[in-house]
Structure 1
Amino acid sequence: MRILITGATGLVGSRIAKKCLAKGFEVNYLTTSKDKIENKAGFKGFYWDPSNYEIDPHCLDGVDAIFHLAGASIAKRWTSSYKKEILASRVVTANLLFNTLKSTNHSISQFISASAVGIYPSSYLNLYNEEDEKRDDSFLGEVVEKWELAADKFKELNIKVAKVRTGLVLAEDGGALQKMKEPADFNLGAAFGSGKQWQSWIHIEDLANLYMHILETGLEGIYNGVAPNPVTNNELMEGIAKQLDKNVWLPNVPAIALKVALGDMSTVVLSSQLVSSDKIENTGFSFKYKNLTKALENLL
């Protein structure tokens, strides 16, 4: 099997690429940096420039499935120009792949796209599953809706489409956890806003395995990429501090202060999404890290 990965050098994509290679799958990957192109047995890089709608069509040669993980980081201040980049990096890239496939003889049977739990409206009470049709009216909700619509277009080409609505990814080598633990390292840990907002998280290892499970079992549709036991922001920050043998002793950072410091991006840390993992578990997927304590013990 040969897999094409966009975003293969990112936090999740690099982990998935390693798992594909370990299983004996061959990997093609797309990169916007010609310096990152490698060409070795089973692992080949191809150049694309989505902003100019350029792509090397040979990236699709012999490919059976696509992992579409490309997307600009949301962990930067959302200026008006950067908002356009966040959206384009997800939607324009998907459209470029779609139009390239439309005009090419290909062997692709699966398209597996990243997505986000940010599509669900912020709520302290609702438990969301994949069948919920309400959409958050924030910028992030808009991004995820358009992102998923771009992925759904691949059904027109008789390709199975799966979308993984990912929660807060916990990893040892990047992502949100590293930013959250920095204040705690100096005994400056504090929860955000009320601290009561739900954080639906997932260990990076489980997320990569979840993508591989979807690939190998040929699943279609939407799946929440979250662990079975979400926690509040208070519990998350306390858990991080405990693993570092530190204390969360400062008062919570007020929501207004976060809005001043982060602008619209503050919605990422202040919104509350309590999200169910039942659907993916009912397909036979098993989480290695079901509880936050075990996940943090492993990562910190």
Structure 2
Amino acid sequence: MKIAIAGGTGLVGRALTNLLREQGHEPIILTRGQPQNARYVQWLHGTLPLEQLDGIDAFVNLAGVSLNDRRWTSEQKEAIYNSRMTATEEMLRIVTQLSTPPQVIVNASAVGIYPISTTATYNETSTQRANDFLGKTVADWEQKALRAKELGIRTCLARFGVILDTDAGALPLITLPYKMFVGGTVGSGKQWLSWIHIHDVARAILYAIETPSLEGAINFAAPHAERMKSFGKTVSRILNRPHWLPVPNFALQLALGEKSVLVLEGQHVVPEKLLAAGFTFQFPTLEEALRDLYKS
């Protein structure tokens, strides 16, 4: 298959590109930078050469300013929001101009659309919505992406949990205190962390592309979420480091500002659609995921 990937140079995009190449598919990376070879196409900067996208089977939109880069100042929140709206709008413009539109679109989303809770469990049929910055951003993002469905294109909304990778994302921040021998429970420890291994993210995106029955909201989270206290103890065991020094809420709020909600609060999310469609997680438990990532 010929698959266009917007945001293909980011964490998920790189993993997906590698998987597609391994499987014999042709990824086309849309980038703001200068095209490096025939597999890279400029976008969001000048005129997009649409002929290079003719015949694509799928469009994967991962583009957007990272939630992890900086403190959530008003300017940063505006950048996070606008980057997602702009990229999705451009994706829609592109597919309407292609002589043959793609059969499927996979648009990134996040489990942050669900409200914070220590007691609720959310699947794709859950109608509750968060009213905070992240929840509203994700809701607007999904609403815009679903315009592709009106064009007759099967549309998947990939609601990512916390993606685990040793090079980027949240895991290096979570494990750093343990590597310095000062790791411990973050916040109350009761908050849920719905996580997923980076390789399962890439595999699930390809599975969504290849599975016609999958559409709409899809939870990209491992089947076994962990509370933060349990998550920390597993990290401690895998890294062979002590779990003893608690990190109080106020300390993280002081250090990270509003962005501290990413680790101080969370949701228990289950991937019912993926499991029902026959997807098998390579790393269904945190123990398996961390042992693979740290090769222990």
The equivalent position to 2:128 in structure 1, one of 134, 155, 165, is 134
Say which SS state the counterpart of residue 83 (structure 1) adopts: helix
Residues in 2 aligned to 1:104 and 1:246: alpha-carbon distance in whole angstroms: 54
Deviation at 1:59, TM superposition (A): 4.2
- Checking the alignment, whether the CA contact within 8 Å between 1:167 and 1:201 is kept in structure 2 is yes
Query: In structure 2, what residue type is equivalent to 1:223?
Result: I
The two structures have a TM-score, normalised by structure 1, of: 0.93
The answer (yes or no) to whether the contact 1:188–1:248 under 8 Å persists in 2 is yes
* 1:203 paired residue number: 197
Identity %: 38
The equivalent residue for 1:29 is 29
Match of 1:266 among 260, 266, 280: 260
Q: How does 1:236-247 map to 2 (within 5 A)?
A: 236-247=231-242
The letter for the 1-side match of 2:65 is A
Q: Are the counterparts in 2 of residues 4 and 59 from structure 1 also a CA contact under 8 Å?
A: no
Residues 54 and 98 of structure 2 are in contact (CA less than 8 Å); yes or no, is this contact kept in structure 1? no
Q: Secondary structure at the match of 1:39?
A: coil
Q: Gaps (5+ residues) in structure 1?
A: none
In the TM superposition, residue 86 of structure 1 has moved relative to its aligned partner by: 0.6
**Preserved contact between residue 77 and residue 262 of structure 1 (Cα < 8 Å):** yes
Residue aligning to 1:60: 53
Deviation for aligned residue 1:54: 5.2
Match of 1:162 in 2: 156
**Distance change (3 Å), C-alpha of 1:54 and 1:84:** farther
1:78 aligned to 2:76?
no
CA deviation after TM superposition for structure 1 residue 100, in Å: 2.8
For residues 146 and 187 of structure 2, the distance between their equivalents in structure 1, rounded to whole angstroms, comes to 36
Spell out, residue by residue over 1:231-251, the C-alpha distance to the aligned partner (whole angstroms, 9 max, x if none). 111111111121111001112
1:1-300 counterparts in 2 under 5 A?
1-34=1-34, 37-40=35-38, 44-49=39-44, 55-75=48-68, 76-218=70-212, 219-251=214-246, 253-300=247-294
214-223 or 133-142, which deviates more = 214-223
Runs (4+) off by over 4 Å: none
Question: Structure 2 length normalisation: TM-score?
Answer: 0.94
- Tell me if structure 1 keeps the 8 A contact 2:95–2:101: no
Q: Is the 1:65–1:111 contact (alpha carbons within 8 Å) kept by the matching residues of 2? A: yes
Contact preservation (8 Å) 1:168, 1:202: yes
SS at match of 2:42: strand
Work out whether residues 210 and 225 of structure 1, in 8 Å CA contact, stay in contact via their aligned partners in 2. yes
The RMSD of aligned alpha carbons is 1.4
What is the Cα deviation at residue 49 of structure 1?
2.3
Distance 2:90 2:220 in 1: 25
Aligned-partner residue type, residue 292 of structure 2: N
Distance, in Å, in 2 between the alignment partners of 1:166 and 1:27 is: 21
Measure the CA separation in 1 of the matches of 2:52 and 2:255. Answer: 41
Give ranges in structure 2 of 5+ residues lacking alignment. Answer: none
**Which has the larger displacement, 77-86 or 54-63?**
54-63
Aligned pairs, number: 292
Distance (whole Å) between structure 2 residues aligned to residue 259 and residue 242 of structure 1: 27
Which amino acid counterpart does residue 38 of structure 1 have in structure 2?
Answer: Q
Deviations 1:131-185 (A, max 9, x none): 1111111100011101101110111211100011111111132221111111111
Could you tell me which amino acid in structure 2 is paired with residue 70 of structure 1?
Answer: A
- AA aligned opposite 1:60: L
**Equivalent residue of 2:159, what SS?**
strand
CA, structure 1 residues 104+213, in 2 after alignment: closer, same or farther (shift >3 Å)? Answer: closer
Instruction: Tell me, yes or no, if the aligned pair for 2:104 and 2:155 is still in contact at 8 Å.
Output: yes
**CA deviations over 1:41-81 (Å, ceiling 9, x no partner):** xxx1111226xx85343342221110111121101211111
- The answer on whether the counterparts of 1:29 and 1:59 sit within 8 Å (CA) in structure 2 is no
One-letter amino acid of the counterpart of residue 24, structure 1? G
